[in-house]
Each structure stands twice: as C-alpha cells, then as structure tokens.
Structure 1
Amino acid sequence: MRRFEGKVALVTAAAQGIGRAVVRRIAAEGGAVVITDLQEDAVAALAEEIGAEHALGVKVDVTSRPDVDAAVTATVERFGRLDLVVNNAGGCIVTTMPEDTSAEDWHRQLDFTLVGAARCIQAAIPHLVKTRGNVVTISSVNAIAAFGNVEYAAAKAGQIAMSQNYAARYGPLGVRFNVVAPGTIRTPNWDDQPGALDQLRAMYPLGRVGEPEDVAAAVAFLGSDDAAWITGHTLPVEGGVLTGPNPIDLSPPDTLHERL
C-alpha cells in the first residue's frame, strides 16, 4: 500500500518504540516523515535509515511551544506541506500514590502528556486546514478503564476529550481528529522490569502484549484516506483486555484508612 504517497507526517516521541514504528510504517507507505524527539542522536539515525529525501529529524521538547513551532515550520519549509500529526509524546512520569501526588507533579504530568499534544495541534492547525489533514493522538486504555496510574490516566483521558472537541470544531474545515488507545506495548520502557511483560500477557485474551507495529498499523489506517469519514473516535488496540473484568487489584493498601 502507498496510502501516504505525496503526504507529510510529523511524529512526536519518534526515536523509539511506538513512535519509531509509526515513522517506519508511514515511510514504507510512501510518506515523508518529520521525526521529533528529545533524543537527538536517535532521531538523526532514524532519519538516515529512511533517507534524506523522505525524512527530517528535529529535536523537540513538546513542553516548549517554541520547539513545537520550530518543528512545524521546519516541516513546511522542507516538504512544503503538513498532512498528518501523530501525537505520541506523553508517558507516566508520576509514580507516587494518588493521595500523595503534589500539585506540581499533577502539572508536570498534564503539561507533558495533555498540553504537549495541544501545543502540537495548535501549531499544526493552519497547515492541516490547507491540506485537509488530520491528527492521530496516542492515548491509552488507562483513559478508558481503571488500570491505575491516576494522573497518567487523567491526562490520557483528556486527550480523548480534546480530540472529540477538535473533531467537532474543525470537521467543517475537513480536518479529522482520532485517537488510538493501546494496551501494554513492548517498548524500551519495560527494559528495566524483566519478566513484567510475561506476567502482563495473562491479562490479554489474545495471549500476548502488543508490539509497536500493532499501534503503527492502527495509526496508518486512521491517518490515511481509508478513514476519510472517521473523526472524533477512539480505537482501542489492546488485545481484548477491555472485554472482561479488570484483573488488576486497585484496592487501597490496608494502611490507607489509618492515614485518612
């Protein structure tokens, strides 16, 4: 398939994991890709892998509006257009118990995951209107069901609400907004937790955790003209984990009542 022939995509947090798989998938389908991440060397290596004719690497911190603006400007200067933004940046950066999370940590989590995606959308909108392009944001099953990580889940749920509202606002101008909500995906984030993925796969009816390529395939569908009449929706890519009772024990520790 060459669904992205003649089109240009900007992907955030694209140096590894899901972002890298998305970049490779779009490039394989004929698209030009702007690879953004804080990992400058990894960005450059991936751009070299794809080739200078079809790839541009840019160091970007999504918590910085000047960084985001500069990346969008570089995209249009290099390729002349912008058709697709993939908001992949965002992760769980708060590890405290929810009753212990400070206001500062709440702001850090929301700024990185939710407001970071909003910055990218705001910077890209004028160009997406011109191309009748679209945005695909990578959320999480945590936004849909209770799997823990309260602050992360709230930020990811905010991405879904934001995308629905943008879809309604910009639909009349031909710009689409959709969301992919992955379950557990085998990424480098799990490298320091040996055996964790083997334990987690028992949660999934399909008997395995996801691979970055599973998410990339969903992004390629929603970001292409195959999804031309789909906007404001969230596509779970989660191996069936949302089909049954949540197997994770989220009950508070026995000592919680003593603290309240």
Structure 2
Amino acid sequence: MPRTERRFDGYAVLITGAARGIGAATALRFAREGAQVAVTDLDPEAPERTAAEIREQGGAARAFTCDVGSRESVEAAVASAAEAFGRLDVLVNNAYACSPDATRFEDEPDDVWARDLDITLTGAYRCSRAALPHLVASGRGAIVSIGSVNGLQDYGNHAYSAAKAGLVSLTRTLAGHAGPRGVRVNLVAPGTVRTPAWSNRGADVDVVRDLYPLGRVGEPEDVAAAVAFLASRDAAWITGVTLPVDGGLTSVNMGFRHAVR
C-alpha cells in the first residue's frame, strides 16, 4: 500500500456501510495506516470488493455481511470480526438510509420515517452496543460515527436529518458512559461529498460548490482523514465532540455573501 503514517498498527477496525463512498475510503485509509479492517455492508458481495482492493494494496481486510437493522446480524458481524482479528479497537458507524421527502410534510409515510431512523440512528446504537465490550477490552477503544451537516442545520430530508441529529446526542451520552471505561466516542459531520449516492440519482454534485467557502465539495478521503484522526491516539483527549468536515458550510453563509455583493 502507499507509504503513510501508520497510527493503527495492531488495531482492528470495523466499518459499516463500507462497500462504497465514505465507508470504502475510510476502510482504505485505516488499512494504509496499518489496521486490520472488517469491511461490512448489507450486500453480501459488495464489501468483498473493498476488502479485495485493500488486500491488493498490501493491507489486511475481511468482508462480512452486516444488516444494521437487525440485532442478530450486527452481533454476528461484530463477533466474527473480533474472532477473525483477535480484538476490536475501533468502530465506525457509517451505514445510513436517506429517503426523499414527500412534497408536503403531512404526507410523509410512517414507514419512510421509521426506516431512516432505524438504519441511521438505531443501527449505530445496535453496532455500538455490540462492539462496546470489545472496545473496552482493547484498552484504546474508539467509536466514530458519520453524522451530517443535516443534523446541525436545515438542508431538507426530515427523517434523515432527525436521525443524524440523534447521532449527535447519542455521541454525547455514550461518550459520558464509555469514557470512564476507556472508550472515546466522537462524530464527524460531513457536508456535500462526492459519492455514488449523488451519481446514482443523476445529480451534479458540483452545482453546490459555490456555497462552500473553500470552493469545492468534499471527497470521501476528506472525511476518512477526519475519522482516522478521531480514532487515533492523536485525539486521545477528545471525546463527545461533533466535528464538522464541511468546507466551512456551517460557519460561513456564502449564499448571503453572494446575494449582497
């Protein structure tokens, strides 16, 4: 694999939703820094592609099926990863569901609301619950969840945004519980990132770049770098925080600046 700092030699890392996009980039980042990576996803074949790419680059990875909507599936994936690697040091909660809003709020169906919250928020809860004993045993455990600027400000998507906001709260409360047990819990909140979620719906992600003070949308590797930092000993005295990784979107109102020029 390309030479880079190896902060995770001897670590085992489990990542949900790691078949593509931010999850795959994060898996590759951890592997480049020396970690053994459990690549998990709902699709039984998709995570193997990411794991194979890691192995082709000289890293160590195993692929596991994990449906974060199922307690049994989550517990099986965590147990399999811990058995395969002999330990588990880091959990990255990346799996999510994001459904389009109904035209009118009052027309939102219950099942859409329930699915987005169950996969995005309760899925992270299930994974954290299953992984926590292993993370405690490691003596250097860390949980990093992938939130969103949608959980901080209004960018649409009622259910998805509510779920991401819930992750911010879960990060704080779990940090308070897990800190005395030696486990840190943090969250990154990405802005617009160039992932298959955009290309699959035929959208041009770059149409929003002028809203970003840094003049571009994010790349999956931008988020992966922040996740690796928060999981590493470089962040040994950081827990319970939400770190925006958003090119300045939530700090600077570029739309207003353009309007008043």
- Using structure 1 for the length normalisation, give the TM-score: 0.91
Q: Which residue of 2 aligns with 1:119?
A: 126
Residue 4 (str. 1) matches residue 12 (str. 2): no
What is the distance in 2 between the residues matched to 1:185 and 1:236? 13
Q: What is the rounded CA distance, in whole Å, between the counterparts of 2:120 and 2:102 in structure 1?
A: 17
Counterpart mapping for 1:1-260 below 5 A: 1-51=5-55, 54-97=60-103, 98-132=105-139, 133-194=141-202, 196-245=204-253, 247=255
Q: Which amino acid aligns with 2:26?
A: V
Q: Secondary structure at the match of 1:148?
A: coil
What corresponds to 1:255 in structure 2?
none
CA 1:48–1:221: 2 relative to 1, 3 Å: same
Q: Any unmatched runs of 5+ in structure 2? A: 257-261
Deviation of residue 198 (structure 1)?
2.0
Structure 1 residue 2: Cα displacement: 0.7
Deviation at 1:40, TM superposition (A): 2.4
- Measured in 2, the distance between the counterparts of 1:176 and 1:121 equals 12
Change (3 A) 1:136 1:191: same
Letter in 2 for 1:85: L
1:40 alignment partner, SS class: coil
Q: How many angstroms apart in 2 are the aligned matches of 1:48 and 1:238?
A: 30
CA contact (8 A) 2:16 2:41 kept: yes
Report how far residue 194 of structure 1 moved: 4.3
For 1:229, what is the secondary structure of its paired residue?
coil
Unaligned 5+ runs, structure 1: 249-260
Identity in percent = 51
Measured after TM superposition, the shift of residue 245 of structure 1 is 3.1
Check the 8 A contact 1:94/1:152 in 2, yes or no. no
Q: Which amino acid aligns with 2:189?
A: A
TM-score by length of 2: 0.91
Output the amino acid matched with 1:163.
Answer: T
Say whether the 8 Å CA contact 2:34–2:59 is kept in structure 1: no
Tell me the matched-pair count. Answer: 248
Q: Secondary structure at the match of 1:24?
A: helix
